[in-house]
């Protein structure tokens, strides 16, 4: 049983609703203000899920499909739209070959899974030392 990812639902910021792949509207049902450990979000749902022929492909919930929209989703949508352009995809492919191996080396060879220093100044120093060590290994 597969499900439609959130990216298959189109968000309309002007009307503040989602449109499902079958054309039904999911409107804002509730809001969660968030706390120290969980970010704020708006919850979208539709009454149409109960009579939809594609419900088994979309959700396992008896209540129907529910989508949470976080503050960061706008940036994700913009990036997804930008990556549809061939020039952006080409630029990303070049970045993969140049930048990603460096971060892979820092993480897996030098063990930079997390910073051990507190504060921005400490993190800058720690990352600078890792970058220096990487550059020396390449020299």
16 in Cβ contact with 70 (< 8 Å)? no
Residue 75 lies in a domain: yes
Query: How many domains does the chain divide into?
Result: 2
Residue 1 lies in a domain: no
Q: Do 68 and 22 fall within a single domain?
A: yes
State the residue range of the domain holding 32.
6-79
Among 44, 64, 79, give the residue marking a domain's end.
Answer: 79
How far is CA 27 from its chain centroid?
A: 21
Q: What is the reported pLDDT for 133? A: 94
Residue 39 lies in a domain: yes
Residue 40 lies in a domain: yes
Q: What is the reported pLDDT for 1? A: 43
Q: What is the reported pLDDT for 61? A: 86
Token output for 108: 């897996």
Q: What is the pLDDT along the chain (139 residues), one digit of tens a residue?
A: 457 888 889 999 999 999 999 999 999 999 999 998 999 999 999 988 888 888 888 888 888 899 999 999 999 989 988 999 999 989 888 888 888 889 899 999 999 999 999 999 999 999 999 999 999 999 8
Q: Do 74 and 107 fall within a single domain?
A: no
Q: Do 11 and 75 fall within a single domain?
A: yes
Q: What is the reported pLDDT for 127? A: 95
Q: Do 37 and 61 fall within a single domain?
A: yes
What is the pTM for the complete model shown? 0.65
Q: Do 27 and 10 fall within a single domain?
A: yes
Q: Which of 32, 33, 18 is nearest to 64 (CA)?
A: 18
Token output for 123: 């993190």
Among 79, 102, 124, give the residue marking a domain's end.
Answer: 79
Q: Do 23 and 43 fall within a single domain?
A: yes
């Amino acid at each position: 049983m597969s499900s439609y990812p959130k990216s298959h639902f189109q968000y309309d910021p002007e009307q503040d609703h989602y449109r499902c792949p079958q054309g039904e509207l999911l409107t804002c049902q509730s809001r969660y203000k968030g706390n120290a450990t969980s970010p704020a979000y708006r919850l979208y749902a539709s009454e149409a899920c109960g009579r939809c022929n594609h419900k088994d492909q979309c959700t396992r919930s008896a209540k129907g499909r529910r989508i949470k929209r976080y503050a960061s989703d706008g940036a994700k949508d913009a990036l997804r739209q930008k990556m549809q352009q061939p020039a952006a995809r080409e630029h990303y492919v070049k970045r993969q070959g140049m930048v990603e191996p460096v971060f892979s080396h820092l993480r897996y060879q030098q063990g930079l899974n997390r910073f051990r220093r507190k504060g921005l100044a400490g993190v800058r120093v720690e990352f600078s030392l890792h970058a220096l060590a990487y550059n020396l290994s390449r020299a």
